[in-house]
Amino acid sequence: MQSSILSWFSVLAAPACAQFPPGVVLDDAHFRSSLLFVLYASLCLFWIVITLFVYMLIFRIYHSLRSAYREKRKELFRQGVELTLLEEPLEKVMDAFRPRRPGDLDISQEVLLEAACHLKGPPFDMLRETAYRLGFMEENLRSLRSRSRHRRGRAMEALGILRSSQAIVSLLDILDHEALDLQLTALRALAAINDPVVLPYFMRICDRLPPALLPRLISLMLEFGSAAHPHVRELLIRHANRFSSRSYAEALKEIAQGLERTL
């Protein structure tokens, strides 16, 4: 046991001894202070590593348990999607999506949004009405003022998927003061809501977008259908020098295809 302790002590003391050449004679106090410093520093580093390892292990366990819990709760709320497809009464669909525990609102909305992305017509209208009556719309509108960038971005995406016309004013306000990535998220949400009244704002923001993003802006504008064609043509004329020849030709082709569909 004593030899084991001495061997560990020699390992910890090695860095302290290595900083002095073999021929240098040191007094005992100087050598002892250097040795103690290396010993304490090594012990601190050891416990820091152990603490980080335990923290990462706990975090992974927490994340795994949380994912399993959310998936289990999602299965419960997916019954609401089935009822929607079966054209059950709105009250039954609302009851299936109604949050029952703390944290259920976010899980229920996630399931509803996943379904809304792939549904059209009456089923989509029922999901949107469900979201409105259960307060999902109001919650996302409040989240647009959150301090969390992630929460604001998720709220914009949700409002776009649900085509919330109540969010148009708030989303337009975001275009004036948010960072570029959130501005693009707001533009995608406005394109999903699909109210042509916002097209002049798309024209205004194009002046401060990088040239590489202008083709993406045109694609979003063309989602408004024929109402966007005059605005897109004006954009192409005003900013022709900011487009590559390929993206310019592709934009003209999309406009032509859109005109053919409306004739």
Is residue 137 within 8 Å of 174, Cβ to Cβ?
A: no
Average confidence score pLDDT of the chain: 83
The 10s digit of each residue's pLDDT in 98-123 is: 998 888 899 999 999 999 999 999 99
Nearest CA-CA partner of 81 in 111, 107, 105, 120: 111
Alpha carbon 100 to its chain centroid, in Å, reads: 25
* Cα(19)–Cα(38) distance, integer angstroms: 11
Q: Nearest 5°: phi and psi at 224?
A: -80, -5
And the tokens for 217?
């802006």
Q: How confident is the model at residue 84 (pLDDT cuts 50, 70, 90)?
A: very high
**pLDDT at residue 10 above 60?**
no
Domain boundaries, the chain: 195-263
Q: Kindly give, in sequence order, each residue whose CB lies less than 8 Å from that of residue 122, ignoring residues fewer than 6 positions away.
A: 87
Least confident of 15-19, 29-33, 216-220, 244-248: 15-19
Q: How confident is the model at residue 185 (pLDDT cuts 50, 70, 90)?
A: very high
- Residue 12: what pLDDT? 46
pTM recorded for the entire structure:
0.72
HSE-CB of 148 using CA atoms within 13 angstroms: 9
- Residue 162: what pLDDT? 93
**pLDDT at residue 17 above 80?**
no
Q: Which of 124-138, 215-229, 246-260 has the highest mean pLDDT?
A: 124-138
Least confident of 2-11, 72-81, 88-97, 141-150: 2-11
* Cα(151)–Cα(261) distance, integer angstroms: 38
- Residue 2: what pLDDT? 47
